[in-house]
Every structure is written in structure tokens, then in C-alpha cells.
Amino acid sequence: MPKWVRTVLVPVAVLSLLAAACGDGDDGGGTDGGTATECNADLSVGVAYDVGGIGDKSFNDAANAGVQRAIEEGLICEDNVKSLEPDATGSNRDDNVIALADAGNDLVIGVGFAFSPGINENAGDYADTQFAIIDGYATCGTACGLKNDDLSNVTDLTFKEQEGSFLVGAAAAIKADELDCDTVGFLGGQTGPLIEKFQAGYEAGIAEIDPKIEVLVEYIGPDVTAFNDAVSGEGLSTDMYDQGACIIYHAAGASGAGLFNAAVAADKLAIGVDSDQYQLVSAEQQPLVFTSMLKRVDNATHDAIEQAGDDSLEAGGQVFGLAEGGVDYSKSNTDLMTDDIIQQIDDLKQQIIDGSITVPESPEK
């Protein structure tokens, strides 16, 4: 029985999540300017977003961009994609994953590391469903304090955030020296090893250019709500600007909106994360967004869908660094990101790819 037919047999309780066969049954596709486009009607995908949801102008939006690109390329039919967003605290995160799996989706993507424990515990109940987790560690199993080992249907999609952060740190140091400034800042979301990779790379990039520059560091909080607290993000950023920081880099998800507000109030520079945030902020904020560390969550999401569609998505882990196109930096603000800075950063980028620079994953204590 074809997969898309099989999905209609799930219980009525989750009927609203089901993917119908694409189009009107003629071509299984959507339309592009009135012209039908072919798509893979044999694949259904459920996407569980994390706190902040679509519209966070950061992490979740990057994942959604990957989904939309997969749809545009016909890797999946638009009607066969279902998504759920959590409540403000993420307390129903696991319920959303289970609902998408119960709906018969062939691939369920959890957008964020916090999905790892729940998927580790529940994936075994859905042998016919593949799970992919952005920033996941579910396959680490009992070694990471989780319940199960040897998951055959889970893929963790992780990134070398420290490499991209190194590049924006180096750029921040170059710009700080131009501004005759000796202090910069880092705003983290949730405390822990994931965001510490951003901090470590940023600090290492700054030290590569000018080790005399001081880096102020603030974290918003100990749980995932720290990624959806723009008020705290603004307050902590204002404090760092008041202490002399001329540039602040955030790795705080939707809380980074607070940094951009603080940058306008202080008339100082900010560095975005995940997406090219220069393209996403207000016209008032845009001139102050120096660059962004691009974490290509869109590529990882797109590739997981593509691999699920051709049965090549393997259990275990995939790691995306500079060499794999998984991280990078943006050059959109041409008034600030000048050709001479770009040349210096691209030289450092190549040295990381070549292995002559190794970027630390943890901050120096």
C-alpha cells in the first residue's frame, strides 16, 4: 500500500495532522504560476518547532526555510507537510512529536536539542517513522543520561557552531579596533554546552585578532525559555553596552530581538545568529547589524527531507561545519562588512577548513 494512502488510516483524534495526497490526484503537485509542479507524494513530514515558533527570525525560521525549499524543489508535496508549535515554555514539546508520529508521518523533525530526551524515549514505539533532531543528542543514549541506546530510526543533526562563531568574533575584533574600542559582548540564551560552543568560538576569534580585547558574557537563563525572552535579552545587552561594549554577539534565539532594541538605544553594533538577521530586523535596526553567524539549519532540514525521500537518511549523527557548508557568516551590511574585512575573514575561514586553525568547543575557564 502506498505511504500516502496508509496515512489516512490513523485514528480520528489526529486526523487534523494527516497529509492528503498532493494536488487533485492528477500530478501530485502544487502550482507555480498556474503550472503544476511534480512532488514526492510518497513522503510525509511532520515538523515540531521549539519555543518561539515560526516567526522567531532565527532558529525556527531557518528550519522552516529548509522545509519551504524542499517543497519548492518537489522533494515533498506541500500538503504532506504538517507542523506544530509548542506552548511558551515548551512543556508540550514531546506531545507534539508523538502527535506527528501518531499521524503516520514518515519523517518527524524536532527543531532543537530539547527534543532529544523525548525522542530517545519514544522513537522505539514508532519503528516505521524516522526522526531527525536539529542539535540533537538522542543517539548518545545512556552515555548522555538518556534512557535508550542503539536507536535505529533517529538521526542527530549537529553543527560546529564554534567555527562560524570564530569568524564573527574575528570580524568583531577587527571592527572594534577600527572603532578604538577594547570591549565587546556575548549574549547567550540557555546556559550549557551547546551555547558555550558559540561563546568559545567567538572568544577564540577575537583573541586571534586582538587578545587585548575584553569579552563581557551574559546568559539569560537555565532552561529553554531563555530563548524566548526578549525583555531579558534587551536588559542584559543594555548592561553590556553601558559597560563599554561596542559590539555584542547573541546566540539567544528569539531573545536576540532584545539585543537589536538595545543596539538602537545605545547606537552600537550587534551581531546576529542562525539566519542573516540583517535581512530580518527593522529598518531602524538594520544599519547596526554588523554581520550574523549563519547556522545552516535550513540546509540540515532540507537535506534530512531529501534523504528521507530517497531512503538514504541513516541513523546516528551528521555534523555540519564550515567544510560541509553548515556554518558561515553574512556579508549583507556592506557599509560595515567591507572588502578588507571580508578578505581577512575568508582567509581565516580557509585556515579552519584546511585544519591549520582548530577552534575550541568550550570557553576557557
pLDDT tens-digit profile of 288-306?
999 999 999 999 999 999 9
211 plus 339 within the same structural domain: yes
Q: Given pLDDT bands bounded at 50, 70 and 90, which one contains residue 36?
A: low
137 plus 242 within the same structural domain: no
DSSP-assigned letters across all residues of 51-97: TT-TTSSSHHHHHHHHHHHHHHTTSS-GGGEEEE---TT-TTHHHHH
215 plus 134 within the same structural domain: no
Per-residue pLDDT for 287 more than 70? yes
**What pLDDT is attached to residue 226?**
95
Q: Distance (Å, rounded) from C-alpha 56 to C-alpha 47?
A: 16
134 plus 185 within the same structural domain: no
Q: Is residue 326 assigned to a domain?
A: no
In 3-state terms, what secondary structure has residue 344? helix
314 plus 273 within the same structural domain: no
Is 0.75 surpassed by the pTM of this model?
yes
250 plus 141 within the same structural domain: no
Q: 89-121: b or e for each residue (b if 16 or more CB lie within 10 Å)?
A: ebeebbebbbbbbbbbbbbbbbbbbbbbbbbbe
Q: Is residue 227 assigned to a domain?
A: yes
80 plus 194 within the same structural domain: no
Q: Is residue 364 assigned to a domain?
A: no
Spatial contact of 37 and 26, defined as CB atoms under 8 Å apart: no
Q: Is residue 191 assigned to a domain?
A: yes
306 plus 253 within the same structural domain: no
224 plus 245 within the same structural domain: yes
231 plus 249 within the same structural domain: yes
Q: Is residue 238 assigned to a domain?
A: yes
Q: Is residue 361 assigned to a domain?
A: no
Q: Distance (Å, rounded) from C-alpha 5 to C-alpha 156?
A: 29
| Domain containing residue 209: CATH number | 3.40.50.2300
Q: Distance (Å, rounded) from C-alpha 62 to C-alpha 302?
A: 10
Q: Is residue 307 assigned to a domain?
A: yes
166 plus 120 within the same structural domain: no
Which has more pLDDT, 91 or 11? 91
In 3-state terms, what secondary structure has residue 106? coil
Per-residue pLDDT for 34 more than 60? no
Spatial contact of 201 and 162, defined as CB atoms under 8 Å apart: yes
Least confident window among 10-24, 67-81, 125-139, 163-177: 10-24
36 plus 90 within the same structural domain: yes
Domain range for 98:
3-159+297-320
Q: Distance (Å, rounded) from C-alpha 323 to C-alpha 351?
A: 11
Domain count of the chain? Answer: 2
pLDDT tens-digit profile of 131-174?
999 999 999 999 999 999 989 999 999 999 999 999 999 999 99
Q: Is residue 243 assigned to a domain?
A: yes
